[in-house]
Amino acid sequence: MTPTAPVAEGDGEKKTTAKAATDTAGAKDAAERPETAGRLDKARTDSAGTAEPADRGDGAEQGLDLDLDDDLDDDLDDDGSGKESAGLATAAAAVVSVGLGIVSLTGAWSGRVAAERETLIGQIKTSSGGSAAQQISEIYGDAWHATALVNGIFGLVALLVGCYVLVRPAFGAPSAHPQAGWVRAVAKGGIALGVIGVLVSVGMYFDLIVALPTAAATTAGS
């Protein structure tokens, strides 16, 4: 039987420490070798390349979200501006309708110009002589009729514009905001003034309201 030499506890710890130091030195030497260093660099490059597309994908998604948000904001702005401009246009048309209706009742400078033109034409026609009835018709009657015609045109335009304002919401895409009440009220006022102006103009043109004066017939013996 071969006797076993006793092993001290300190010797085991020294061997373990020496082995760990040897492994660390071997790993360091392997890392310093060109082949091992190249493999490590390649592995790092591959891992960085794998992470970069993911970052790019996240950036692309964020950019797409921003583009969609911008497009949505632009669409909302366009819709809001379009509705606002349409509302302003109808309101302005209602006011114009009332103004035209007032002009059809009070007269305009264009009507006076037309009346003066007819008066001048009548004077030219009767300058060489003519009966009293002819002078009244050519000088005064035609001038009144010209004024009535111009005023009637203003009244008709006021009527059409007012009707357009009232029926405009029935055409096109339905709006979430109904037409303002004051716009409808003003448009109805323009329609009323236009109708009155047209009726008065028709009565004056056909001598229904005020007839032309007539000259007294002269006798041959007087």
Instruction: Determine the structural domain holding residue 199 and report its residue range.
Output: 91-205
Whether 73 maps to a domain, the answer reads no
**The pLDDT of residue 43 is above 70:** no
Kindly state whether residue 53 falls inside one of the protein's structural domains: no
CB 188 within 8 A of CB 133: no
Most confidently modeled range among 14-23, 24-33, 156-165? 156-165
79 in a structural domain: no
How much is the pLDDT for 219? Answer: 45
28: pLDDT strictly greater than 80:
no
Question: Could you please report the per-residue DSSP string of the chain?
Answer: -PPPPP--HHHHHHHHHHHHHHHHHHHHHHHHSHHHHHHHHHHHHHHHHHHHHHHHHHHHHHHHHHHHHHHHHHHHHHHHHHHHHHHHHHHHHHHHHHHHHHHHHH--HHHHHHHHHHHHHHHHHTTT---HHHHIIIIIIHHHHHHHHHHHHHHHHHHHHHHHHHHGGGSSSPPSSPPPHHHHHHHHHHHHHHHHHHHHHHHHHTTSSSPPP-PPPPPS--
Q: How many domains does the chain have?
A: 1
220 in a structural domain: no
**What DSSP element (H or E) covers 162?**
helix 142-167
Mean pLDDT, the chain, integer: 75
Q: Is the confidence at residue 12, as pLDDT, over 50?
A: no
pLDDT at residue 29 is higher than 80: no
Nearest to 174 by CA among 83, 89, 54, 108: 83
Q: Specify if 84 maps to a domain.
A: no
Beta carbons of 117 and 130 less than 8 angstroms apart: no
Nearest to 136 by CA among 128, 126, 148, 146: 126
7 within some domain: no
pLDDT digits (tens, 9 = 90+) for 46-55: 555 554 444 4
> Is residue 111 domain-resident?
yes
| Token couple for 96 | 């114009």
Q: What is the pLDDT of residues 136-182, one digit of tens each?
A: 899 999 999 999 999 999 999 999 999 999 998 887 666 667 788 89
pLDDT in tens, 204-218: 999 998 888 887 765
